[in-house]
Amino acid sequence: MTQNVALDLGWAPSACTLPTAEQPLRVAEFDALFTEAVQAVQRPEPTRLRLELVFSPEHAARAAELAARENGCCSFFTFTLTIADGSLALEVTVPAEHIEVLDALSERAGAAARS
């Protein structure tokens, strides 16, 4: 995947500091998490996305690790991982100026959840 494809998907805004060569790898990591763990996608607000994940320690650890690395290059993201009552959820929020990034994330997560 080239940088232009990543940009077309809304995944690499100018605020992202991840090297261009690593961006397709990060997208692939998110896609793998979405495919293997996402059960439901909710968009309670334009700036907030909620992903219901299959409950497991492995999925919790993977989501936390990926969120921490993503926050390192795109500091505008806020990730909240919630583990309660046998459920696992990852919430992602962004400032209004980065809604298009959240739109792309939501679209990819939803497509993976439906497959």
For residue 13, the enclosing domain spans 3-114
Which pLDDT value is given to residue 74?
A: 84
What mean pLDDT do residues 6-28 have?
64
Query: Per the structure, how many domains does the chain have?
Result: 1
Which pLDDT value is given to residue 62?
A: 96
Q: What is the pLDDT of residues 47-75, one digit of tens each?
A: 999 999 999 999 999 999 999 998 888 88
Sequence-ordered list of residues with C-beta below 8 angstroms from that of 114, at least 6 positions apart, any chain: none
More confident residue, 63 or 101: 63
Greatest mean pLDDT range, 7-11, 48-52, 99-103: 48-52
Return the structure tokens found at 4: 């232009």
Its pTM surpasses 0.75? yes
**Dihedral sign, Cα of residue 3, residue 8, residue 12, residue 14:** positive
